[in-house]
Amino acid sequence: MNRIALIDVALLDAASRLAAASPRLRRNHNFHAGDAHPCNRLLNAIEPGSYVRPHCHLAADKDETVLVLRGTVGVLEFDGAGQVCGSALLCAGGEAMGIDVPHGTFHSLVALAAGTVFFEAKAGPYAPLLPQERAHWAPEDGSADAPGYLDWMRSHFE
């Protein structure tokens, strides 16, 4: 028998500890049974210093919803050439605490507080990003240019 999964402070703390210990400074906690599930629902724990390369989801059913449960996240929206065309500061319990990203929209997230956790939902099944969904104008994860680009993204919220 399946049981109700409680989302509480202990779960957020555990996810944050795993994120802080991860080389990428982020960690998912999935509620869906596996990658093939038709609805992906997860916690994403992210620490300052984690680089999320700007990307989009091209499939018409891959709109994405994010709600900040703890901490603060800066969100940037980009046009196809890499120019910032929108931004939002999301804070748990604040004036703005979430976003709904339409498919085909280039975006990235920047953790601005330690222990930040957000809830994310989008249609499954999970599929790795296609090359055309990765922003060609932004550095690759793990590249020497990524930290400087992350600093530039973070500067939009200082």
The structure's pTM equals: 0.95
**Interval 11-25: pLDDT, tens:** 999 999 999 999 999
pLDDT interval class at 83 (50, 70, 90)? very high
Would the CA dihedral through 68, 74, 79, 82 be positive or negative? negative
pLDDT of residue 2: 79
- State mean pLDDT over 120-135: 96
DSSP secondary structure string for all residues of 1-18: ---PPP--HHHHHHHHHH
Domains of the chain, with CATH numbers?
9-157 (2.60.120.10)
